[in-house]
Each structure stands twice: as C-alpha cells, then as structure tokens.
Amino acid sequence: MNDPGLRERTRRAVRTEIAAVAMRLFLDRGFDRVTIDQVAAEAGVSRRSLFRYFDTKEDLVLGNLADSAEAVLAALEARPAGEDAWTALRAAFQVLVENPAFSADRTTRTWRMLRETPSLRARYLEKHLRMVDLLVPQVARRLGVAPGGPPDPRPTAIVTSALACLDTAVEVWAASDGEQRLEDLYDQAVAAVRS
C-alpha cells in the first residue's frame, strides 16, 4: 500500500520542479513568449501531465499563492488573541518574507512580469480575493464580530487595506530593486492608510 504522505510529497516535489523550470523560462524570455509545450518539454513532462499539476499557465507563476495564503492564515491564527488586527496581520505577512523560496532578485523580477502581463494580473486578483476570504473571518474574530450577526464592513476593510499596503510595498520595493526594506515600506503604506 502506498503511503499518502509520500505520494503528496512526491507530487509537491514534481510541482515545485515544473514551476522552477517555468519561472526560469518566463524570467529569461518573457511570459508571453514561452508556451506551455516549451515548459513541458524543458521540464521533461507531457503537456497533459503539466496540467495535472497546474490549472493554467498563469498558475505556473502564481500557484504558490494558495500555499502562501494558508501560511499567512496559520500565522494569523497563531498570533495572541488580544493583539489588534493590524499588528497581527503585519506579523502574519512576515511568513511570506521568511519563506526560503523568497529572494529579492526573483521577487522583483516576478513582480515586474506580473505588472506587465494582463493575464497574470487577472489571475493574481483571483488568488488575492481568495486570501481575503481566508483572512476576513480571523480578523472578524479579533474585532469581536459575531458570526451570523449584522454585516460589519470593518474586517473586510482591514484585510483588503492591509493587502493593498502589502502589494504597494512590494511594488515600490521591486522598483528599487529590493534596496529598501520591504517591512519598512509596508509600515509606511499602513501608516499612510491609517493616518
């Protein structure tokens, strides 16, 4: 009998390898100049196999955002219960920077590619909205919003504002080629929103 843990680890390893090949090609040649067939050939898999791991070409770039969203959620849930939502979100976002796959060069180049490619921006927005859906209930609990109670705009406003601040910080950081501290840029963006 196969160990499901091993199967899942193998699947993740293959997925990571395919994504790494795709990112190398996309960053070297440009997203729109690389075909799925080229990625599959370079990765040593069939086109059909590639689509078992990724739903779209855009997911080759953005597929790890689902894992990132789950990591941010876990970090947010682990924050002290009495901590205010803004502070808890800032600390939770730190898991993104502490990810071993995070590097200034790759992140700035990926962000530029994202900004220049409409299909990537659209897919990013879909994944961004998924992160909002994941984080809002946790922020609502921090604010004392009762589940099933009257609608309250505060949790969604805080989460979407915090994510907009994060996106803005990454954009400025990428424009500076990673020379400024991402955390400082995020803090500046939040201060501007909250003032």
Q: State the average pLDDT for the chain.
A: 90
61-82 mean pLDDT: 89
Indicate whether 102 pLDDT > 80: no
Q: What pLDDT does 190 receive?
A: 97
Q: What pLDDT does 2 receive?
A: 47
Whole-model pTM: value is 0.84
Q: How confident is the model at residue 4 (pLDDT cuts 50, 70, 90)?
A: low
Within the chain, what is the greatest distance between any pair of CA atoms? Answer: 59
CATH code at 4-54:
1.10.10.60
CATH says 61-194 is which class? mainly alpha
Q: How confident is the model at residue 76 (pLDDT cuts 50, 70, 90)?
A: very high
Q: How confident is the model at residue 3 (pLDDT cuts 50, 70, 90)?
A: low
Question: Could you state, in order of their start, the residue ranges of all structural domains in the chain?
Answer: 4-54, 61-194
